[in-house]
Amino acid sequence: MRIRPIARGDLDELQALARETGVGFTSLPDNRDFLAAKIDSAIAAFEERLPANRRNYFFVLEDEGSGRLAGCCAIEGEVGHEVPFYHYRVGTLAHSSVQLDLHRTIDTLFLCSDHTGDAEVASLFLRPAYRGGDRREQRNGPLVSMMRWLFMAEFRDRFPDKVLAEMRGVFNEQGRSPFWDCLGANFFPLDFDEADRLTGLGQKSFIGELMPKYPIYTPFLSEAARACIGRVHEQTRPALAMLKKEGLRWEGYIDIFDGGPTVEAYIDDVRGVRLSRRCRAEVVSGLAAPAGRPRWLAATTVMADFRAAWVSHGPDEEGVIRLSPDEAARLEVESGAPLRVLDSEEEG
C-alpha cells in the first residue's frame, strides 16, 4: 500500500470511490465532470502551476497488488478565497434582570467565515474492505491520515499558520440529518442531498444569500438537532481520534448543514509536523522486517513525485534509514535519496 498524487488515469476508480462515500461527504460528489476537473486541478497543484493559496493537493491510496484505489485524502492550501467558507460559531449570550434577580446564559449559533485563509485536511475516505480484518495490520487509516503531516512539514512554506478539518456530522438510520431537518431545511428550498451536492460542486454562494445573519438561539432547535452539535458520524470517529492524537481540537465551530465539528490547530504544533525529520535512504538486500505492525512512515521530498508508505525500520544515529528493495520500489527511491520520516508511535 502506498500514497501518491492522483493521476488522470484514476478517474474511473475515483468515481467508484465517490459512489461509496455516502451522504454528508461533500468534498467528493459523484459527478464525473467535477471529478475530472478535480484531478486536473490537483495535477496543477503538485506541479506548482497554481498559486499556493489556490492549490488542492489530492492523494490516493493505491493497492499495488490489485491496482485499485483503496482510499483518498486531500490538503487544501487555503480555504475561502474563491468561494466563501462558512461555519456556525457556537457562542453564548448572557441575559439578566436585576428586578427579578435572574441571570441566564443561552447557547447561540453565529454564521461566520472565521477560517478564511487556513489550510484544510479533507476528503479522507477508505473503502470498507481496507478498514479492518486482516488488513488492519497494514494500518491504512493512519497511513492516509498521517502522510498529510509529512507533506505539510516537507513543504511548510506553501502553507499558512493554521489547519482545520471538517468532520461529518450525525445522521439517523434513514440517512437524514436531524440538524438539517430542524434548521437548514427552513431556509433552503432543497433537501439535504441536493444542498450537499451543490456544496460539493463548489456552489456555495446560496448559503450566504439565504441563511440568517443574526444569531440562532439553540433552545429554539429540537432536542435531536441540539444533540448533533459538535458530534460526528459513527464512521468518522476513527478519523477524529487520529486528528485529536495529532493535536487538533474542537474550538466551537460546526458545519452549517449537519452540525459536525470542525477541529483545528496551528500547523507547527501538529505532532506529525513537529516530530517528522529528514534522513537518507540506504537500500539493503535481504533486510528482515521486525515483528509486529509497522510504526515508521516515510515520504519522498519531491512534490510532483510524492510517495508515502510504511517502512520496516527507522533511521539510525547517523540519519540513515535502511529500506528493503520492495520498500525502495514502493517509494521509487534509490540509496542516497532524502526521505522525511515519522515514528507514528512517538509521543508528542
Cell of 198: 451543490
Distance between CA atoms of 207 and 210, rounded to whole angstroms?
A: 6
Distance between CA atoms of 62 and 2, rounded to whole angstroms?
A: 5
**Are 160 and 119 within 8 A, CB to CB?**
yes
DSSP type of residue 173: T
Cell of 103: 441571570
Distance between CA atoms of 135 and 293, rounded to whole angstroms?
A: 11
Helix H or strand E segment including 17: helix 11-20
Q: Which residues pair with 285 in a beta bridge?
A: none
SS3 content of the chain, % helix, strand, coil (to 5): 35, 25, 40
Q: Which residues pair with 59 in a beta bridge?
A: 5, 73
Work out whether the CA dihedral 54, 63, 340, 8 comes out positive or negative.
negative
Cell of 165: 478539518
**Which residue out of 87, 115, 233, 313 is catalytically annotated?**
233
Verify whether residue 233 is a known catalytic residue.
yes
CA torsion, points 337, 342, 344, 348, in degrees to nearest 10?
A: 170
Q: Which residues pair with 5 in a beta bridge?
A: 59
Residues annotated catalytic, as ranges: 233
